Amino acid sequence: MPSLSRPAGNITGVTSLNVQVGPKRLELMHELVPTATAVALLVNPNNPTTEDQLREMQAAADTLGLHLHVLHASTEGDFDAVFARAGQLRSGGLVIGGDILFTGNSDKLAMMALQHALPAIFQGGTFAAAGGIMDYGGDFAEANRLAGVYTGRILKGEKPADLPVQQATRVQLVVSLKTAKALGITVPFSLLGRADEVIE
């Protein structure tokens, strides 16, 4: 693909800010558990964006004075070891990086985080509703709406190569008070006041 504005060939689409807002997820976790000195970051080493994610997250961790424990999972079978290692490292929270493996297993990761009493944040969808403590990421409804508009335009005869890749720009913060209560965490009012949705 030559560029997002001129995709060429038979490709176009919609992208979201989920990888780009990774450092903000770390900031939100730090705000939630300010006494934690270390936070775990889950990444897929096979993802081509992992190196960029690690660089940005490490810079954010340094700014916040946090030690960042990087944990790897390239298959669903790695999840048990990830949570066991996070516990051994006494991580104060878990930030889940952007990856299709994690997106496809977000409900499972949320349930595992709750079972291991580990506050965790991911990129949105149903993560907080399934047991994660926070969602923060691109608005999937906006991305789906944009994709639907493009689908209609292509079905009416427009060429994908003539349609620039669009970026969904709205982000949402969802906080689960239910999970916070189960973990014995008091969510700061400053965080609740910025939430787009609060799960009671």
Counting other chains too, the contacts that 45-50 makes at CB distance below 8 Å and 24 or more residues apart are 45/72, 45/74, 46/74, 47/97, 47/98, 47/99, 49/19, 49/98, 50/97, 50/99
- 69 versus 171: the higher-pLDDT residue is 69
Domain boundaries, the chain: 19-137
- 114 versus 172: the higher-pLDDT residue is 114
pTM: 0.80
How high is the pLDDT of residue 68? 97
Please state which of the ranges 17-21, 79-83, 185-189 shows the lowest mean pLDDT.
17-21
How high is the pLDDT of residue 156? 82
Percent of the chain with pLDDT over 70: 80
Q: How confident is residue 10, by pLDDT bands cut at 50, 70 and 90?
A: low
Q: What is the mean pLDDT of residues 160-180?
A: 81
- Measured distance CA(48)–CA(62) in Å, rounded: 23
Counting other chains too, the contacts that 57-65 makes at CB distance below 8 Å and 24 or more residues apart are 57/22, 57/23, 57/26, 57/95, 57/97, 59/23, 60/22, 60/23, 60/26, 60/27, 61/26, 64/26, 64/27, 64/30, 65/37
Task: Give backbone dihedrals phi and psi of 42, rounded to 5 degrees, phi first.
Answer: -95, 125
pLDDT in tens, 107-145: 999 999 999 999 999 987 789 999 999 999 865 565 556
How high is the pLDDT of residue 1? 46
- 196 versus 6: the higher-pLDDT residue is 196
SS (H, E, C) 120-131: EEECCCCCCCCC
CATH class label, 19-137? alpha beta
pLDDT in tens, 62-113: 999 999 999 999 999 999 999 999 999 999 999 999 898 998 999 999 999 9
